[in-house]
A and B are shown apart, each in its own frame.
Chain A
Amino acid sequence: MRTENDLRRALIELEPATTSTAGMLDRVRAGAARRRQRRRAMIAIAAVTVVAAAIPVGAHQLRHSPGSTATATAQPGVTRTPSARPSPTRTPPSGVTLRFGFESRPTPGYLVVPSSIEPDVQRASIYLANVGIGRRSFGDLTVYTGPDFDASLALRGEPVTVNGRRGYYASLPDPDTGNGTRKPALAWEYAPSKWAVVQGDWTPAAARGAELALARAVSFDGTRTFAVPYRAVGLPANLHPFSGLFGVGGGDLISVVELTDLPLDQTTAASKRGASTTAVHLDVRKAGYIYQANATVGGRPAYVSREWVQVYLASGYALTVSTSQARAADYPAAVLRRIAEAVQPLPDPTVLTQWVDALTALPR
C-alpha cells in the first residue's frame, strides 16, 4: 500500500528540473496582440447586432414592468429548505477543556511544542534544535488522558523507569504512516492506566537515550495554556470546544478549534469511527488563496461561499469558519456567517505573544 508521502514525493519529482521559458513570452505577446485585433472586430460586429435587436427588446421590456413578474431569487447558502435532520441538542454539553495537562522542560538538542488537544489525547511535536521548527516534526510526544492507549505491545518491550514510573522501550505503530509500520518508542504509565509515548525518527541506536531524556523532561503536575488568535463573543450557547490544534512551521502559524453541539461522547465516538459530527470549525492560518471579497464580516473583507466563510486578516492570514459535511444542513452559510461575526480576530495573528488563552477566548 502506498502512502500520502509517496504521492507527495512523486508529484515533486514531476517538477521539471529546468523551467526554460525561452520564447514563451514572445508567443504570449503575439497571442495577446492577435486577441486584441479579434476583439476589436467582434465589438464592431456586436455593435451592429445590438442596434438591430434594440427595438423588439425595448418593446418586451415595456410590457414587463419591473416587479410585475418578480420572482424570489434564491441566495446560495442563505435560504434553505428546512432540514429533515434532527435538530442539534439544546442541552449544553460540557466541552473539552482546552488546556494542556503536561509540561516539558527544555531538553538539550530538542524543541518540544504542544500541538493538539482532543478529548482523550494530547500531543506535542518534537523538533531537532539544530534544524528548528519546520513544517514536519521529527517526532511526537503523545499523552493519553483517557484509557485509549493499547498497552499490550508496549508491555512486551524492555522495561525502563521514567521518573519513578514503569515504562517500556518498544516498537510501536508509527502514527504518521498508519500502515502498520513500527518505529522505536518509549511508553510509560505516568498515572494509573494513563500512558504517554515518545516516538521519533531516531536510528535504533540513538532512540533510547533521546527518548528517555525527553520522557524524563515531561511533568504532569501543571498545566499549560492553549492559545488562540481571537476572542469569540456571542457564539451560540450550545457550542463548546471539542478539540484544538496549534501548529507552527516554516514561520507560519495554524490554529484550528472544533466546536461541537452534541454530547461529547457522541462526537468522540464519531471521530474515532473516522466521521466528523462536529458543528463548527474555526481555522486561522495563512491563506493559500485570497479570493476577491464578496462581503464584509466584522469590518473585514470576507469571502462567503455556500459552505464556508473566510475572513481576511493581516499578514495574509484568514479565519475560515466551516462545518463538517455531516452537519451542513444544520449550519448553512448564513449561520456560519453569524458565527464568523462573533469571532473577533487579533489585529495581527502572527504576533504569538498576543494570542488569548482559549479558556477565556471561547465558551466552555
Chain B
Amino acid sequence: MTFEEFAASRLPALLRFAVVLTGDRALAEDVVQEVLIRTHAKWRRISGLEAPEPYVRRMVVNEYLSWRRRWARQVPQAEPADTRSVADHAAQHAERDALLTELRKLPARQRAVLVLRYYEGLSDVEIAAVLGCSNGTVRGYASRALAALRIELGPLPAFVREDH
C-alpha cells in the first residue's frame, strides 16, 4: 500500500477519532495533518508494520498530548473554549452537554485515557503501551477523570475492573 492509498482510505476514520479525542474539529484537523506529514516521512518503516493504522492512531494521541503541552507553555489559559451553545440543544440533552463540557476541561492525558478506554475500547494494558506509562498510571488517570466527571463504575468482575 502506498502512502497516498493509506491516507486516502484512512483519513476519515483518523479524523473522526481525532475529533473525539480533542473535542475540537479544527484542532483535530491540525493534529491529523501533522501526523500524516510525519507518517509520510517514515512511510517506508510504517508500511512495513503488520498494522500501520493503530501505529498512526498512537501518533495521533501523542501528537495531541504534545500539542497540549506546547499550548500549556505558550498560553497558560489554553483550555479550548466551549463553543457549543447549550441553548441550541433540547432540554433532554442538557446533561449530555454538561458532561461534554466537563470532559473538555479534563487534563489531556486523563481525557486521552477515557477516549481510548470508552471510545476505542482498549484495555488498560493497551492504553499503557499507547501512552508509554504503567497500567497503574492509566488506572490512576481513569479513576481521577471518572471521579471528576462524577461517573460511577459498574460492578464489573474483579479481573475486568482491575486489569482489563
Interface residues of A (CB under 8 A from B): 1-4, 6-16, 19, 21, 24-25, 27-28, 31-32, 35-36, 39, 116, 118, 175-179, 243, 245, 256, 258, 270-271, 274-276, 278, 281, 283, 287-292, 303, 305-308, 310, 316, 320, 322-325, 328
Bound: A179/B151 CA distance, A: 10
Cβ of B38: which chain A residues have Cβ within 8 Å of it? 35
Contact call B135/A289, Cβ cutoff below 8 A = no
Contact call A289/B54, Cβ cutoff below 8 A = yes
Cβ-neighbour of A116 out of B32, B126, B136, B157 (below 8 A): B157
Contact call A28/B134, Cβ cutoff below 8 A = no
User: B49 at interface (Cβ–Cβ under 8 A)?
Assistant: yes
Bound: A56/B153 CA distance, A: 60
Bound: A43/B139 CA distance, A: 42
Contact call B152/A245, Cβ cutoff below 8 A = no
Contact call A283/B164, Cβ cutoff below 8 A = yes
Contact call B162/A14, Cβ cutoff below 8 A = no
User: B36 at interface (Cβ–Cβ under 8 A)?
Assistant: yes
What band does the interface of chain B fall in when counting residues whose beta carbon is under 8 Å from A?
A: 35 or more
Which residues 87-119 of B sit at the A interface, judged by CB distance below 8 A?
95-96, 99-100, 103, 114-115, 118-119
Cβ-neighbour of A278 out of B118, B149, B159 (below 8 A): B159
Known: A32-B37, A288-B120. A274 touches B161 (CB 8 A): yes
Cβ-neighbour of A10 out of B16, B32, B96, B152 (below 8 A): B96
Q: How far is the CB of B28 from chain A (nearest CB, A)?
A: 8
Cβ-neighbour of A324 out of B23, B51, B162 (below 8 A): B162
Q: How far is the CB of B7 from chain A (nearest CB, A)?
A: 6
User: B158 at interface (Cβ–Cβ under 8 A)?
Assistant: yes
Q: Which residue of A lies closest to B22 (CB)?
A: A14
List 15 other contacts, CB 8 Å, given A21-B15, A31-B34, A276-B163: A4-B151, A4-B152, A24-B32, A25-B4, A32-B40, A177-B154, A178-B154, A256-B164, A270-B158, A274-B161, A281-B159, A288-B122, A289-B130, A290-B51, A308-B135
Bound: A328/B129 CA distance, A: 17
Cβ-neighbour of A290 out of B11, B41, B54, B154 (below 8 A): B54
Known: A274-B158, A281-B159, A289-B58. A15 touches B130 (CB 8 A): no
Known: A15-B19, A291-B129. A10 touches B154 (CB 8 A): no
Q: How far is the CB of A209 from chain B (nearest CB, A)?
A: 28
Q: How far is the CB of B117 from chain A (nearest CB, A)?
A: 9
Q: How far is the CB of A293 from chain B (nearest CB, A)?
A: 9
Q: How far is the CB of A307 from chain B (nearest CB, A)?
A: 6
Q: Which residue of A lies closest to B161 (CB)?
A: A274
Cβ-neighbour of B162 out of A24, A308, A325 (below 8 A): A325
User: B66 at interface (Cβ–Cβ under 8 A)?
Assistant: no
Q: Which residue of B lies closest to A116 (CB)?
A: B157
11 contacts between A and B (CB under 8 A): A2-B95, A11-B119, A14-B19, A15-B16, A24-B11, A288-B54, A288-B123, A288-B126, A289-B54, A290-B50, A307-B135
Bound: A178/B23 CA distance, A: 28
User: B25 at interface (Cβ–Cβ under 8 A)?
Assistant: yes
Contact call A176/B150, Cβ cutoff below 8 A = no
Q: How far is the CB of A11 from chain B (nearest CB, A)?
A: 4
Cβ of A13: which chain B residues have Cβ within 8 Å of it? 96, 100
Contact call B151/A276, Cβ cutoff below 8 A = no
Cβ of A31: which chain B residues have Cβ within 8 Å of it? 33-34, 37
Q: Which residue of A lies closest to B7 (CB)?
A: A25
Cβ of A9: which chain B residues have Cβ within 8 Å of it? 96
User: B20 at interface (Cβ–Cβ under 8 A)?
Assistant: yes
User: B63 at interface (Cβ–Cβ under 8 A)?
Assistant: no
Bound: A36/B43 CA distance, A: 13
Contact call A303/B129, Cβ cutoff below 8 A = yes
Cβ-neighbour of A289 out of B118, B122, B160 (below 8 A): B122
Known: A10-B96, A24-B11. A281 touches B157 (CB 8 A): no
Q: Closest 4 A-B residue pairs measured CB to CB?
A: A276-B162, A271-B158, A19-B12, A31-B37
Cβ-neighbour of B151 out of A6, A281, A328 (below 8 A): A6
Contact call A14/B23, Cβ cutoff below 8 A = yes
Known: A10-B99, A24-B11, A325-B136. A1 touches B161 (CB 8 A): no
Known: A11-B119, A271-B158, A281-B164. A305 touches B129 (CB 8 A): yes
Cβ of B135: which chain A residues have Cβ within 8 Å of it? 307-308, 322, 325
Which residues 1-35 of B sit at the A interface, judged by CB distance below 8 A?
4, 7-8, 11-13, 15-16, 19-20, 23, 25, 29, 32-34
